[in-house]
Structure 1
């Protein structure tokens, strides 16, 4: 591995001479100066972009000197102001924001660390670098000082020259040509090193997640969310790596700031930046009532209406936040969008506009050995490369080899295409890829969108039940299904035999969502009473449970002579395992639970019961059959007890779902009891 790493360093220096820098130098200086990485590497790129040790040392000293002489630390602002006055002119590195002062028709600069406001600046800088007007940019600035007794109202400070800290020129062909010298893995490693991480310490899947964080920087209007534990570097890329993205820390935001200010007629952050990232999603609040509505409009179409005007912008939206519980717990009790604020969390239309949900819990917490000391691209060079790639699209790269399955609606298709396009731009910017390359990216894109859809299914019910995402190989016409890894973990239905009287049932709740329920039955000495808890005010559920008990008392002898109903009391407790409200389809399951408890014989392991019955024992057909089976599989069922009348619906079930379960058909309630208990 060591040899390969050194080999990659050598190759990068050969192919991209002067465009790469040793990343430990950044780390070395970064600890002493609180400037973004792209500022540091801009300077390192000027003075230390080489692999000659001596030149590197000289370059680093030079950069340190520039930073110590010219970088303004907030606590030394007065000292720097004094130096400007004494010398008449002085160069500084600071973050500059510009605003127009209409009273005197002059642009005025504000310096973030220096603390100066109202400093006159020539209009040509503003025209050339319009980001000065929103959010500000880091610049190398020469400031003049001239005090005129007669013009006391005038600011003695003025901007003599200004140079944004960004690569002045970018030749994309250089990247395209250079890419040919690297294998796929080498190129991915080079990109990851460019963001400061060490790929040899990371698993393949984690590398893909780190690449996905860069997709909003190369793809227009790409909406992504990443929720995970603290300390996994979720916001690092958007704050440090690219001068073209802005991190909006949690808290209140306004439509004027984000989209369009109607009084000043200026477009907000989405018009000025390539990527707007929201840190700590739990804290997002809009002062305006229509804030979330406008955000939804923008996320869907890349445009929004304010006043009489329709505005277009291309900024991607990224939402990062913390998940405080384990994912298993969250999946069992709630959904993976739970950390969002209340007004968003219940809004399925908002989440439906997410193109990819990145599983932040799969990324390890950052440790020192995850940070690289090898060569990577100067981040400014990478940022410009990303910026240029936004003008291209690879959304149609799927079409040569694959077709998307019929469970993907228009929004799903757009989402998958955008992710694919972004990942191709990063890994194969020159458009040279094979069928296998595209298939790998397509699977990853489908999984990220399916994760969004799985959660929407939990929040919004039947409207979002088409989650069986697949793609079809145009050559062989084979259909491949893509699943979401965490659906496999933390099953609601544990493996192995349960206790007698315990039964799992899947049914449709009043909201239309399909849920998993657990019935627990116990038998005590008594007088033949039936007590139900956990049913609360659900009339339909109560009636069906009573139906099951009446059928049980009337037919217990035909099930087994050993069952007694007159001298026993039966107690039942129901758990709504997903918290979506009760179902009334409990008759057959409760009959099996009562028999299981009375006979002290557990139901077969990992079995789920579906279907219902009337007082006379007539079995009803299962509605939404394929979706019900999907929920059974997601919950961890291995066997499913199915009414014989539902056999005809098997053609609606995808084949990859059928191979995961053993169906057991029952024709009447007593048959169902025997099969569930494994008696015949």
Structure 2
């Protein structure tokens, strides 16, 4: 296949093996590959590349040398350097100016014809060889602007033919093409499974699909931003730093459109560390843009096509997201954990399934020159392939609840699939079997978003199972998400135990299981709270003890029990502070169990506030608490009667998953929770 690939795409491919470990990490990969392809022969690679390195070293300016080079240009009147250059139009002067960071100069004279010949200079800049002259007679607005660009030779392919590329794609099988893409992205396909390959090329969907919203959370060292930094100069990677509405969308002071209007993808690297100067305003603008590809300036709406990519770190346990995460958006800053924003994400890429990058991961074979393929992906954004393909399948909700898919679900899956088809089958020819493979990946990316939304807001986002039916065969395909088998470890008693009782609480917006242990020992009626129990919960313990003191005979105790016993109350997971009044009935049940030696049912959870008169009062957080009980595999939840209306407002799929008993008094609680 290699020989065929070299013949068919002659002049557009490079041996990727030669481009690694060059010792030239300060240059983008597309710069190195351009130079290697144009100036190095494989047979004499070492000698040729030594000359390339020599030229780069001689003409590349390190930051500390900027002033020395400026002086050198002045004294010698000219100099050639290798650097990145940007251009901008200053309309108040009706003139283009170039910026060359390597010499700390933002007012470099540049001829109009160079800007017109290379328009990417206006959209983030280009790397190349810059011939500069020094002419102190260049005066603008009474200021001497002596630096001037004489010539510019970019390190990129100047002409591509997308139709030729599409036609030549037909000469390869889908498996061959997948390996070509992986090699082109700099990885060794022999080290990856087919699924890993498909997930890896999914990272490129935002580069070929306009306004695609993707998130990837996973462990470190898996190359989450490698593709965006090295393969495409149409992207902008924000690493940490500040992100403002002005820089991303529009500067209201001067009307300048931000990155979403000038770049094809904006990548938030280390999203948890990005400094959003005005989080609420940013989320509001992002929600609108991620939905409609529009943002406003005054009364004017502006359309843009930049994709949004968020990447960040996530802790992993046994190859799956750590059990400490209730939902898989928890690594995001809290202000981004907004359901309305997350619902606009098209694809959640499971970074925990991506292998770590090692020296053996690097491509050892031929792939497209990064610069060439960058331009191809740029052109593929304009290629429409989905209309005939959409007619070959239908999407459906195959869950037992029959809730159905939303418009956003349909849109997300179609955009995911559109991007995958552009990458894998730009010629539009795809078999049913190949369509199934891509559909499974496209659906999975959206299913993962919906699964997490259900955990975050189960009342608003019902559980769905997204499937696709291939019309020609009637076959229904449904992705399997491996992380759905992930369970949070809650070690519950296997049998009813004396003094062990399960409570329910809310941490943040999620329901959690609270496990209490009560133990009676010889003493004088003291209550000993243990396990980081805070003030309000301590008051619940005191209320429980006071009720038992005054109603001892009603719960099966002698009236003088307090003269003979102390009670220790332990809330397990001692390092985590416990707070709130809703554990009242749980604590009463545990204390009575410890004193009477009657076991507590091990499949029951309780939540409810108590009074010293034995009344059971309503509590909040009913929905997340019930979800926590369901997730833990419990059979029964005991709730205050006053919370009945809260339960009745919940969707049937929650009410039908677990038995719920409503109580008004402690006597009712004990009857249902204690083993007879």
Q: TM-score range with shorter-chain normalisation?
A: 0.7 to 0.9
1:207 aligns with 2:200: no
- The one of 439, 463, 469 equivalent to 2:465 is 469
Q: Judge which range, 523-532 or 165-174, deviates more.
A: 523-532
Displacement of 1:20 = 1.5
Residues 520 and 150 of structure 1: CA distance in aligned 2, closer, same or farther (over 3 Å): closer
Displacement of 1:173 = 3.4
Residues 602 and 22 of structure 1: CA distance in aligned 2, closer, same or farther (over 3 Å): farther
CA contact (8 A) 1:465 1:627 kept: no
Alignment partners' CA distance in 2, 1:400 and 1:589:
59
The corresponding residue for 2:426 is 429
Displacement of 1:671 = 8.7
CA offsets 1:579-601 (integer angstroms, 9 cap, x no match):
99869598589758965996586
The corresponding residue for 1:124 is 113
Displacement of 1:42 = 1.9
How many positions carry a matched residue from both structures?
650
Residues 474 and 574 of structure 1: CA distance in aligned 2, closer, same or farther (over 3 Å): farther
- The one of 226, 246, 257 equivalent to 1:236 is 226
Map residues 451-466 of structure 1 onto 2, 5 A cutoff: 451-456=448-453, 461-466=457-462
CA contact (8 A) 2:525 2:564 kept: yes
- The one of 332, 348, 360 equivalent to 2:324 is 332
The corresponding residue for 1:19 is 12
Displacement of 1:569 = 5.8
CA offsets 1:479-523 (integer angstroms, 9 cap, x no match):
77656434533523237737654344568x599864433333333
Displacement of 1:313 = 0.7
The corresponding residue for 2:488 is 491
The corresponding residue for 2:500 is 502
CA contact (8 A) 1:247 1:277 kept: yes
The corresponding residue for 2:400 is none
Structure 2: 5+ residue stretches without partners? 398-402
Residues 532 and 81 of structure 1: CA distance in aligned 2, closer, same or farther (over 3 Å): closer
Displacement of 1:65 = 5.1
The corresponding residue for 2:246 is 256
Displacement of 1:107 = 1.6
Alignment partners' CA distance in 2, 1:149 and 1:340:
51
With normalisation by structure 2, the TM-score equals 0.77
Alignment partners' CA distance in 2, 1:222 and 1:325:
26
The corresponding residue for 2:313 is 322
Alignment partners' CA distance in 2, 1:496 and 1:214:
48
CA contact (8 A) 1:403 1:474 kept: no
CA contact (8 A) 1:592 1:672 kept: no
CA contact (8 A) 1:252 1:283 kept: no
Residues 524 and 453 of structure 1: CA distance in aligned 2, closer, same or farther (over 3 Å): farther
- The one of 333, 354, 361 equivalent to 1:370 is 361
Residues 457 and 33 of structure 1: CA distance in aligned 2, closer, same or farther (over 3 Å): closer
Displacement of 1:230 = 3.3
Alignment partners' CA distance in 2, 1:551 and 1:401:
69
The corresponding residue for 1:3 is none
CA contact (8 A) 1:24 1:373 kept: yes
Map residues 505-654 of structure 1 onto 2, 5 A cutoff: 514-525=511-522, 534=533, 537=536, 571-574=568-571, 584=582, 591=589, 595=593, 599=597, 607=603, 609=605, 631-632=628-629, 634-635=631-632, 637=633, 640-641=635-636, 652-653=652-653
Alignment partners' CA distance in 2, 1:428 and 1:550:
76
With normalisation by structure 1, the TM-score equals 0.77
CA contact (8 A) 1:514 1:631 kept: yes
- The one of 83, 92, 100 equivalent to 1:94 is 83
1:360 aligns with 2:351: yes
- The one of 256, 260, 264 equivalent to 1:274 is 264
- The one of 38, 55, 61 equivalent to 2:30 is 38
Root-mean-square deviation (CA), in Å? Answer: 5.2
